[in-house]
A and B are shown apart, each in its own frame.
Chain A
């Protein structure tokens, strides 16, 4: 048994297709159940030594926790823009785009929370510093955010130990890339930068996110400095 790995089982992703068939037609459904099915399968196939498997699993959890924070950031950004009335003021194709991205990012939050289970962190507090309030600033921020998420997922997807999580991350990666291209196209800039998307290391993504000061450790509801326009 020890020489049989998940990759032997899942050549061409056929097993994955069958899991889709078993658990529901959409990929999202598959991802929601991935931790149940995939976890049990992986446990059955765990390759000794256990310590290595433990480390790899812990690292997968860390990667997904980081991705969850990023999805929280995006989902809250789009939700706040809708609630601020910025989206309803946009012309039709652009409003559809903004609403679709919001719905997707909220779905990604749910998917990743389900994968993480008890290991899922709480949503941080956000302050988008006025970037949700005008179409121009919203669009510019959305383009940057989607390109950054694509670069993050391009880097972390092949770093995941679990093949099942790799497959799941691939399905999210291409959606973020679609968002980025769609955002760029609507903004009138070239949708594709190069023949390959360059991954950004987590440390660099961290630096960029920190520079936006969008994530606040303080609950804005408890601070005395004025009433926030939105509580994420």
Chain B
């Protein structure tokens, strides 16, 4: 399963020229749609809100599929005790529910669930905990990065899920002795940045 990268805007506009263009834009220059489209290459063939929603929902669905499968395996693999076991069970329940909610919104447009191979990661407490932190931080950044791009009904759903991902991230950070709330305002990540994190785990088969 691949995110449709063709319709994604480029990660950054071409060099310093793009910067200047944005400065002009943000400085209040009123320019026509032609000018804007030219200033932001890749947006000329912009999609309708419904298909954009579907792309965004499928993007977070991929992340939720991975997390649900990871926590479900960890909860039953028998390598986790105490609080990590409790955390794995709670997160497995939450992420499976997120998958179901997203599938409900997507209907026939949902991408198929990928297959995963977590190796020993779900049995090794230390490695598991660190992977949880990586995945939950990626999820927070993904939801807040996409929330404002959705139509309203899906934006409502994202708000309710984003805060739960943030609770997960804070929980595992505190368990690990890391800072549960490192910033006064959380930073968004683009879809590409999040997918890079996901691909780096190597959990998706064939990815």
Contacts and interface: CB of A to CB of B under 8 A. Distances in A.
B160 A186 contact: no
Interface string B146-183: 11110010011111111111111111001100011101
Contacts of A173: 144, 159, 162-163, 166
A41 B9 CA distance: 19
Given A18-B13, A178-B167, A196-B97, A186 B174 contact: yes
A171 B159 contact: no
B145 A197 contact: no
Contacts of A31: 185
Contact of A182 (B97, B174, B190): B174
Interface residues of B, number: 74
Contact of B171 (A16, A26, A192): A192
B159 A157 contact: yes
Contacts of B33: 1, 3-4
Contact size range, A: 35 or more
Nearest to B31: A44
A166 interface: yes
A54 interface: no
Given A107-B184, A108-B184, A185 B97 contact: no
B155 A166 contact: yes
Contacts of B101: 195-196
B170 A178 contact: yes
A191 B186 contact: no
Given A170-B143, A199-B160, A12 B183 contact: no
A109 B31 CA distance: 34
A36 interface: yes
Q: Nearest 6 CB-CB pairs, A to B? A: A195-B97, A40-B28, A177-B163, A174-B166, A107-B184, A181-B167
